[in-house]
Structure 1
Amino acid sequence: MVKPADTDPRARLLALSRERKVSLASLSELIGRNAAYLQQFVGRGSPRKLEEGDRRTLAEFFGVGEIELGGPARSAAHPERSDGYVTIPRLPLDVSAGPGSFEAQEIPFDSFRFRSNWLREMGLEGADLSAIRVEGDSMEPVLHSGDEIFVDRNRRGLEGIHVVRVDGVLHVKRLHATALGRITLVSENRAYPDVELAREDVEIIGRVVWKSGRV
């Protein structure tokens, strides 16, 4: 298990590229740089650190936290109240498990309150959580229309189910990197076809880490 705070981002990037059997030149092309860019970063220390956009793209490709590639550590997004509860905002952004929902303003209309020790037990302590509702049936039987989901914006790798934005439209899908620079949106309901897109056309909002729904 890597301890991000103790890891040199250059060594970590090199290790990740070897684990995934992808060259530094290919990764340089992935972030829109010349083929020698990341080789110089790893071998010569130039640039001194990765730019934010480059770091985010690489972290998402490898499914790791940005801190492993030199990004800042993030503090808890929702501070604990004096009564031991944490407030999670509910956003009016119904994410589509179907044709797609257009983006709305991210202004909370309500909130949930959870005990901080429950969040800790669920592994969600320090997560940057928002609660939103699912619409549509493309993620059944995992997610149903009307389910409330927690989305952690701190987690934007490719493992698990994510909320993504494509052309201003929000979707909840499983993600797979099918080729360098390509990403596939996968529905649990196999009546819906997979959609493969260029990586730059998909904005990963966050990973779905919890759900609730009617019985």
Structure 2
Amino acid sequence: MVNADPRARLLELARESRASLSELSRLLGKNPAYLQQFVRKGSPRKLGEDERRALARFFGVDEGELGAPEDISSPGKSRRGEFLPVPRLALGASAGPGTLASEEAPVGAFQFSTRWLRGHGLDPAQLSAIRVEGDSMEATLRDGDEILVDRTPRAWRDGIHVVRTGDALLVKRLDLARPGTITLVSDNPAYRPIELPAEEVEVIGRVVWKSGRL
């Protein structure tokens, strides 16, 4: 299917998936305003082949809906509904003293089965993958593991989360037993719990999957 207005179709798909144009721009490795300029100002005049293919795969649609010529065989069509990319961010969540979270541009993506994501109640637009740094969460999470973080807004609960305290990004278990206080707990007994006022902790998301070397 070839859509006469790929810009309008892109906006429609973004709304359906609850993904912002700035998030999609980062998925493509572009500046946050890239797709906004494409849609609103017509610059660039058309999407590049790699960008069009990445978006088609993300949305699970034919490339023709995003402006591909009719004679192009679309990977988005052949793989429709099978896999979706989750952006891998160029930062680490410290399982140690803490790392600065200043760079959040995607540096690639992991492909996840659409069926697996839906089976676990996960919204692809709310997911990102980052690297674990340090040893405070051993043996659950090891230095260099990749973790999938679900940023869907919800009430806080116990479990492993990525949190921001000041400029530091941490991966810890949350202990919410004391009202007004969040205790950040490490799985490695060599590290003592960290107690902080709730207002000093920003919960980025819950860790829902990990991948690491044997």
Would the TM-score normalized by the shorter structure come out above 0.5?
yes
Quote the Cα distance in structure 2 between the aligned partners of 1:175 and 1:125: 22
| SS of aligned partner of 1:192 | coil
- Cα-to-partner distance string for 1:130-177 (whole Å, 9 max, x where unaligned): 000001110011001110000000155222100000111000000011
For structure 1, the 5+ residue unaligned runs are 1-73
In the alignment, the residues of structure 2 paired with residue 176 and residue 194 of structure 1 have an alpha-carbon distance, to the nearest angstrom, of: 9
Question: What is the DSSP-based 3-state SS (H/G/I as helix, E as strand, rest coil) of the residue aligned with 1:178?
Answer: coil
> Structure 1 stretches (4+) deviating beyond 4 angstroms?
74-79
TM-score, normalised via structure 2 length: 0.61
Aligned to 2:106: 108
Question: Which residue identity lines up with residue 114 of structure 1 in the other structure?
Answer: F
Superposed CA offset, 1:106-131 (max 9, x none) = 21111111221122233324561100
* Deviation per residue, 1:54-96 (Å, 9 max, x gap): xxxxxxxxxxxxxxxxxxxx96559542322211000011110
CA root-mean-square deviation: 2.0
> What is the aligned counterpart of 1:138 among 136, 139, 144?
136
Structure 2 residue runs of 5 or longer lacking an equivalent are: 1-15, 25-57, 62-78
Q: Give 1:1-215 correspondences, 5 Å limit.
A: 77=19, 80-82=59-61, 83=79, 84=81, 85-125=83-123, 128-154=126-152, 157-215=156-214
What is the count of residue pairs matched by the alignment?
142
1:155–1:207: 8 Å Cα contact kept in structure 2?
Answer: no
* Normalised TM-score (structure 1): 0.61
Q: SS of the counterpart of 1:98?
A: coil
Distance 1:118 1:167 in 2: 34
The answer to whether the 8 Å contact 1:162/1:172 transfers is yes
